[in-house]
Amino acid sequence: MSALELNDITCTFISRDDPSARYTAVRNASLAVGEGEFVSVVGPTGCGKSTLLNVAAGLLMPSSGECKVFGSALEGVNTRAGYLFQTESLMPWRTALANVIAGLEFRGMSRAEAAPKGEAWLARVGLAGFGERYPHQLSGGQRKRVALAQCLIMDPKIILMDEPFSALDVQTRQLMENELLELWAADRKSVLFITHDLEEAIALSDRVIVLSAGPETHPIGEFPIDLPRPRDVSEVRLTPRFLELHEKIWHAMKEEVLKGYQQQLKA
């Protein structure tokens, strides 16, 4: 049984200004993430990757198709999934620690009980002693770490990630990717990772799914990544097998990327 299954998803948006105008971001898209599997979805910019992820999170109702979580149909917000957003998602009025334990508090855990757990998670993402800082007092990378701890403290069975590291500089990004792999290896959650960066996708995943250019995005190819684990994201990029895979997937993607680029020029 798959941890997460998207069957034949179609998402059509109605324009707010002109109710007769339609935009189909995703059409007949199906994909599945196995238990403990790390799956990346790559596609050209603006192709509706985030739309798919929001469907999996239960934040967006698809026009048709269904989303299954551990075999049962998803209704409302996906409570068994954690979500790492592309942009700032921390509550700026809460300290780092209060942000990390926010989910536990929403569940009804008292602050006194949740605080030590929060401290432990802050330490695990390398931010011990930063608990009293507010988000604006942290760097972009530190904020991402807090968001990661905030998500993982809930012990979700599935993690959804929407280009979480795209705003970081290259060095910080590789550090975060390695840490993510380490945390993931510790208790093998199912991950659906969205990115436009093919190298990142290959370096992290067990499987890479390539999407077509939007509109009406759908998967056009699936590539198992057989690189040995544990991996170091900066080293694995230099292995011949990595380059082989990169070439193969890039070959499949290239046409779509060009198509997407042309559409962006037109728009």
CB-CB contact of 129 with 108 (8 Å): no
Q: Minimum CB separation from another protein for residue 154, in Å?
A: 7
Residue 221, CB half-sphere, CA atoms under 13 Å: how many?
18
Q: 94: how many CB neighbours lie within 10 A of its CB?
A: 17
For residues 189 and 254, what is the distance between their CA atoms, to the nearest angstrom?
31
Is residue 83 close enough to count as binding another protein by CB under 8 A?
yes
CA atoms of 22 and 133, how far apart (whole Å): 45
Start-to-end C-alpha separation, the chain? 41
Q: Between 80 and 196, name the residue whose CB sits nearer to another protein.
A: 80
The residue range among 78-86, 119-127, 204-212, 218-226 that interacts with another protein, by the rule CB under 8 A, is 78-86
**Residue 48 gets which letter from DSSP?**
S
Q: Is 17 in the site for another protein (CB under 8 A)?
A: no
Judged by CB under 8 A, does residue 118 bind another protein? no
Burial class (CB in 10 A: 0-12, 13-18, 19+), 35: middle
Stretch that binds another protein, among 65-73, 135-143, 198-206, 214-222 (CB under 8 A): 135-143
Any contact of residue 87 with another protein (CB under 8 A)? Answer: yes
238 binds another protein (CB under 8 A): no
Per CB under 8 A, the segment of 5-13, 33-41, 88-96, 117-125 that binds another protein is: 88-96
Among 154, 175, 183, 252, binds another protein (CB under 8 A): 154
Distant-in-sequence, close-in-space partners of 182: CB < 8 Å, separation ≥ 6: 230
> Does 165 contact another protein by CB under 8 A?
no
- The residue from 46, 103, 131, 164 that contacts another protein (CB under 8 A) is 103
Identify which of 172, 256, 245, 243 has the alpha carbon closest to the alpha carbon of residue 213.
256
Q: Which of 134, 179, 199, 215 binds another protein (CB under 8 A)?
A: 134
DSSP category for residue 210? E
Which of 106, 224, 228, 230 binds another protein (CB under 8 A)? It is 106
Which residues is 223 bridged to in the sheet?
208
Q: Are 132 and 96 in contact (CB under 8 A)?
A: yes
Which residue's CB is nearer to another protein, number 106 or number 226? 106
Single residue of 81, 158, 191, 213 touching another protein by CB under 8 A: 81
92 near another protein, judged by CB under 8 A: yes
Which are the contacts of 143, defined by CB distance < 8 A and separation ≥ 6? 88, 90, 135
Q: Can you give the binding site for another protein, defined by CB under 8 A? A: 57, 59, 77-79, 81-83, 85, 87-95, 102-103, 106-107, 134-137, 147, 150, 154
